Structure 1
Amino acid sequence: MTPPPDSRLRTGLRRFTRAETWVHRSVNWLMGICVLTGACLYFPPLAELVGRRRTVVTLHEYSGIAVPVPVLLGLASRAVRRDLGRLGRFFPHDWRWLRVALRRRRREPSLAGKFNAGQKLYAAFAAGALLIMAGTGILMWFPRLSPLMWRTGSTFVHDWLALAFAAAIAGHVWFATQDPEARRGLRTGYVSRWWAREEHPLWRTEPPPEPPQEGP
């Protein structure tokens, strides 16, 4: 999609607050370190090229443990909590968006709220994968905490899930390269109104996340 000449102006809809962009960038950096160090540990040619295996292992371990920290800190922001609630809810128009995306037969109007169904599925997969990889990683990090059978299973699950997650990240980045306005929203916090109308027309009408129930 080619943006209009005025799309680069910082005069549009506020899509993300500073807290949200900080959380996204922090998680990106930490995950980038995890992927790079994991590749160095998994592929012998890279391991020989980089060397310093103990340093690479340490970076991999601590960056992996630190991935949830920006998200937990971001929960102090109402905007972060609100968008996490949006990512965690599927609506009827999300299922229709998926059907249209999978058919690819003809161009139909986009049916997406602030986040489309693909972004919601990626967020759900990423959250689950990170939890599993953190758990299996801890079992490998502290071998005395578990029997050999557990550690062997953890290594298998960790390695294959890491490969699947790396593929998902590559797809996520590829889709981002196809949408300059989405990247601008993550970089500056603002998107053009024309882009919001075209790609996320239900943004303003989508039901807001339900507030937490208060006790009596």
Structure 2
Amino acid sequence: MRRRAELILRFTRAERWVHRTTAALTGVCLATAACLYLAPLAELVGNRPLVVTVHVWCGLALPVPLLLGLASRAVRADVTRLSRFTPADWQWLRAVRARAAHRPAGKFNAGQKLYAQWTLGSMLVIVGTGLLMWLTHLAPPSWRTGATFVHDWLAAAIAVVVAGHIRMAWRDREARLGMRTGLVERHWAEREHPQWQATDAEREHPHWQTTDAER
């Protein structure tokens, strides 16, 4: 049982909504892609036109949660953090390589920043190539062939990276609770994200409140 006095706010509702909605859309896109690409799944599910429609529209919607989330100051602050590498991030990467216990990190560590940057970049490419495949009049056949090649292999890479992301999250219960409830234990923040805990957490959210349902 986590004590309220020992909890600090890590993610606001807007930040959690962006993460959950993007994750849901990504999951649907990967599931429908598997149904379109793998014959056994295609036969099991059937109704290929419906699967294509769901895949296309969920793919087009992928950037929407982030774009809407930018209305939140907390989300904008996260985007700024995730897009900047600091000396501490390079130290974190060297510490991981050396398997050192002390790994300096702000609100997000270097691994999380790399994952976020990969996610945004791959999202833009996957949506762009998907549009070329869907709207056949936009480009000549050779372009569509190239787009199909990139789209298929990038989708496979995304599936692998997402699986790795889920695996890492599964190994850290407090990180999962932070994304689910928005709250993390103070000692976890001090251990995993010492620079964020020391400089940002309470200053940004000095008057957070929670309910029993959020614990």
Q: CA deviation at 1:110?
A: 2.2
Q: TM-score, normalised by structure 2?
A: 0.89
The Cα of 1:10 is off from its aligned counterpart by 4.3
1:78 and 2:73 matched? yes
Out of 135, 152, 156, which is 2:128 matched to?
Answer: 135
List per-residue Cα deviations over 1:144-174 (Å, max 9, x = no partner).
Answer: 1110000000000000011111100000000
Deviation at 1:101, TM superposition (A): 1.2
Stretches of structure 1 lacking an aligned partner (at least 5 in a row): 1-5, 208-216
- The 1-side partners of 2:129 and 2:37 are apart by 16
Counterpart-to-counterpart distance in 2, 1:117 and 1:180: 20
1:52 aligns with 2:41: no
| Match of residue 101, structure 1, among 76, 96, 119 | 96
- The yes-or-no answer on 1:64 pairing with 2:59 is yes
Identify if the C-alpha distance between structure 1 residues 10 and 170 changes in structure 2 by more than 3 Å, giving closer, same or farther. farther
Contact 1:10 1:190 in 2 (8 A): no
Question: Larger deviation: 173-182 or 9-18?
Answer: 9-18
> Residue 183 of structure 2 aligns to which amino acid in structure 1?
Y
> Structure 2 vs 1, CA of residues 206 and 152 (structure 1 numbering), >3 Å: closer, same or farther?
farther
For 2:63 and 2:190, the matched residues in 1 are separated by: 33
**Structure 2: stretches of 5+ with no match in the other structure:** 201-215
Counterpart residue number, 1:170: 163
Q: CA deviation at 1:96?
A: 1.2
Q: Secondary structure at the match of 2:195?
A: coil
Alignment pair present for 1:159 and 2:152: yes
CA distance in 1, matches of 2:169, 2:92: 18
1:15 correspondence with 2:10: yes
1:41–1:193: structure 2 CA closer, same or farther, 3 Å change rule? Answer: same
- Distance in 1 between the 2:89 and 2:138 partners? 43
Identity of aligned residues (%): 58
Q: Which whole-Å CA distance do the structure 2 matches of 1:126 and 1:169 have between them?
A: 9
Give the conservation status (yes or no) of the 8 Å contact 2:95–2:102.
no
Equivalent residue for 2:173? 180
Output one character per residue of 1:57-106: Cα deviation in whole Å (capped at 9) or x when no partner.
Answer: 000000000011111111110000001100011011111111121232xx
Q: TM-score, normalised by structure 1?
A: 0.89
Q: Is the 8 A contact 2:122 2:154 kept in 1?
A: yes
What is the aligned partner in structure 2 of residue 148 from structure 1?
A: 141
> Residue 204 of structure 1: CA displacement?
4.0
Divergent runs of 4+, >6 A: none
- What amino acid maps onto 2:66 in structure 1? V
Please tell me the root mean square deviation across aligned C-alpha atoms, in Å.
Answer: 1.5
